[in-house]
Structure 1
Amino acid sequence: MESSKAQIHTKFHKIPEIKFEDQQLTSFSGLLIFQLFFKRIRLKDKLKKCFSNLKVSPIFGHHLVVLLLIVHLILGFRRLREIDYYRDDPLVLRLMGFKKLPDVSTISRSLSQMDTQSIANLRRLSRSFVINGLQRESFGRLTLDFDGSVLSTKGHAEGSAVGFNKVKKGARSYYPYRHHQPR
């Protein structure tokens, strides 16, 4: 079913006041803090500029799909199908400025339409956020830890691959997710 922009988009400017009393908040109420943060750093505008070279003007703009993926990760989800866990959540819809979220096929289609220039722009934006934050904080020392813990598995479990393992050469392993959702 086709939808118009008016059926999808809505505007929210005022950040709701949070009172610590018996309220009917969703499990994603912490997004209110991100809504204010995203507004202060003008994230939507900056993401939109990353895709300005694309002439396509879908209802769910490429910048909004990327923003949705950022929110998706903040909420602790990894697989696109997990959008169904929060599809009707009023705070997620509010943060996105939507009346309804795109379905998985719409997100996938939008991602497939992104070109190398857009991705380069997105990487440049991401890099600028990190560099500006590091400069602002002016840390005396910064330690980067690149190693990760892996779990070895027998057989060919989904998401596993042969990697370097001094103890069990050729063993298949995978990186465990902290917030792994059961299927």
Structure 2
Amino acid sequence: MVNLPIEYSDKKVTPFGGMSLMKRFVDSIGIRDFLSTLDLPEKGSNRGYDAQHVVESFWLSIWTGASRYIHADWLRYDKTLQDIFGWDKMPSQSTYSRFFGKFSQSRNTAVFPSLQKWFLSQLQVNDITLDIDSTVITRSGSQEGSAKGYNPLKRGRNSHHPLMAFISQTRMVANAWLRPGNTADSSSCKAFLQETIEEILSAKRIGLVRADSGFYTEEILSYIEEQNLNYIIATRMYPNVKHEVYGLDDWISICPGIMVSQMHFEHEAGKRRRYIVVRKEIDKRPKAGGKLLFEDLPGYRYSCYVTNLDLPLDVIWNMYNTRADCENRIKELKQDFGLENFCLKDFWATEASFRFIMVAYNIMSLFRHFALQSHNKATLSTLKVYCFALGAWSVNHANKKVLKIALNAQRRPWLDGIFAKVENLSPPFKYSNA
């Protein structure tokens, strides 16, 4: 087989011509103007970058595949992509480090709740289901806040242990905090919920709060009840909970290998509440989750949930099960948005980049829902192949620049249709499936 000869060209070609879709979409949202109202770090010299430029460049780096600051450097040589966004140049790795290094706890607290509240105010969605979760981000160095804690995949390694709140209906992140790696699941959770519910989502109606067993504390339950919110929270299997579960004998079979029951009792000197217990028969459901609780009942796994809903047992269990989708959101953030790798020495600098990644994720979620209805659940890696990775270059035509996109004739009407959708979009964005 004969190899093709190699020649080089000075023609400025970008592999991401499809990012012109995101440029138009970002324009339609108006987020650039809102960024200018926030307390973002100011440039240090006339040759420096405006804060809005740095943030938008950071988002663009993530959308095109960067998962570390060093990866963002390659965009500095993509002149066509810079033409698409109307920039003369793009920040370097050191520019990002200096920019995020100017964030502090007080600045993060001032900037991100306001940014998230404004962004979510552009969405028309009612009866939000709020899912609270935490995850573990393993660290290789000795960054501030990285410490040895619960790390199921890499035991004994330093990590951070962030808190995250998701909106189920929009598949977006409502709020996120970075925490040290040795932080307990429920630590700072009440303050996190207060910021999420009373500030960011103050204009939204929350229909249900769901959380895993790490948030099963009297403080958190009492706070949610004080806010008059419905909730389903997984229960830790403390000895008194196990004792109550063991005494149950009125099990109801809802499908082969799955039985449910309920109980009412007080825990941690709290009020009397309703608990839903699910028992799974291991022989029939070998992959079912839950805990092996009793030596004399080795064939069953158990799960338990506390709730203030007055609904049938199987309905409550099914309502909680759909919460598992937030695990997919975390997985995508780690795999496609570089959540684990954009890390700096300073803790608050790392949290600032961490929280800007969440906004980048939300913008992409909004784009794929309204511009790509047939692919509104596609991951970023799929979208890059599907519509962003299009070779393109800019030319001067009639005294103006024109973007030339390499695309076969059969696919051009499809891309024209997406451009038409994007250019006709404007807030508020109504979620008809909410």
TM-score strictly above 0.5: yes
Structure 2 residue 49 is matched with structure 1 residue 60: yes
Within the alignment, does 1:48 sit opposite 2:36 as a pair?
yes
Moved over 6 A (4+): 173-176
SS at match of 2:77: coil
Whether the aligned pair in 2 keeps the contact of 1:50 and 1:63 (CA below 8 Å) is: no
For the aligned residue pairs, the C-alpha RMSD in angstroms reads: 4.0
Q: Structure 2 vs 1, CA of residues 114 and 64 (structure 1 numbering), >3 Å: closer, same or farther?
A: farther
Counterpart Cα distance in 2 of 1:42 and 1:169: 41
Deviations 1:94-150 (A, max 9, x none): 35421221222233333334566654453134222453255x132x45252524477
CA contact (8 A) 2:14 2:78 kept: yes
Between the aligned partners of 2:105 and 2:137, the Cα distance in structure 1 is 31
Equivalent residue, structure 2, for 1:171: 156
Deviation at 1:178, TM superposition (A): 1.4
Residue 335 of structure 2 aligns with an amino acid whose one-letter code is R
Letter in 2 for 1:36: R
Aligned mates of 1:104, 1:158 — CA distance in 2: 18
Does residue 162 in structure 1 map to residue 140 in structure 2? no
Q: How many angstroms apart in 2 are the aligned matches of 1:158 and 1:56?
A: 29
Moved more, 48-57 or 79-88: 48-57
Q: Distance in 2 between matches of 1:113 and 1:132?
A: 27
What is the one-letter code of the residue matched to 1:163? G
Distance 1:106 1:169, change over 3 A: closer
Note the C-alpha offset of 1:37: 1.4
Correspondence for 1:142 among 129, 152, 177: 129
The number of equivalent residue pairs is 150
* Structure 1 residue aligned with 2:115: 126
Match of 1:92 among 73, 76, 81: 81
Aligned pair in 2 of structure 1 residues 79, 170: CA closer, same or farther (>3 Å)?
Answer: closer
How far 1:93 sits from its partner (Å)?
A: 0.9
SS at match of 1:144: strand
Matches within 5 A, 1:14-25: none
| 8 Å contact kept, 1:48–1:63 | yes
Instruction: Please give the alpha-carbon distance, in whole angstroms, between the structure 1 residues aligned to 2:39 and 2:137.
Output: 36
DSSP 3-state at the match of 2:131: coil
Deviation at 1:161, TM superposition (A): 5.3
Amino acid at match of 1:144: D
TM-fit CA distance, 1:39: 0.7
What is the match of residue 26 of structure 2? 38
Give the 3-state SS of the residue equivalent to 1:98 in structure 2.
coil
Unaligned ranges ≥5, structure 1: 1-23
Aligned to 1:83: 72
CA contact (8 A) 1:163 1:173 kept: yes
Whether the 8 Å contact between 2:149 and 2:156 is mirrored in structure 1 is yes
Residue type matched to 1:32 in 2?
S
2:400 alignment counterpart: none
Aligned partner (choices 87, 90, 95) of residue 106 of structure 1: 95
Alpha carbons of 1:53 and 1:163: their partners in 2 closer, same or farther (altered >3 Å)?
closer
Larger of the two Rg values belongs to structure: 2
Equivalent residue letter for 1:172:
R
Paired letter, 2:150: F
Equivalent pairs: percent with the same residue? Answer: 20
SS of structure 2 residue aligned to 1:87:
helix
Query: Hey, what's the Cα distance between the residues in 2 that align with 1:34 and 1:119?
Result: 26
- Give the TM-score taking structure 1 as reference length: 0.58
Distance 2:83 2:156 in 1: 46
Structure 2: gaps spanning 5 or more residues = 1-11, 161-330, 339-434
With 68-77 and 39-48 compared, the bigger mean Cα shift is at 68-77
CA distance in 2, matches of 1:90, 1:111: 25
Superimposed CA distance per residue, residues 65-110 of structure 1 (whole angstroms, 9 cap, x where no aligned partner): 1121122222232321111232222453135421221222233333
Alpha-carbon distance in 1 for matches of 2:92, 2:34? 24
Q: How does 1:2-13 map to 2 (within 5 A)?
A: none
Instruction: Give 1:162's aligned amino acid.
Output: K
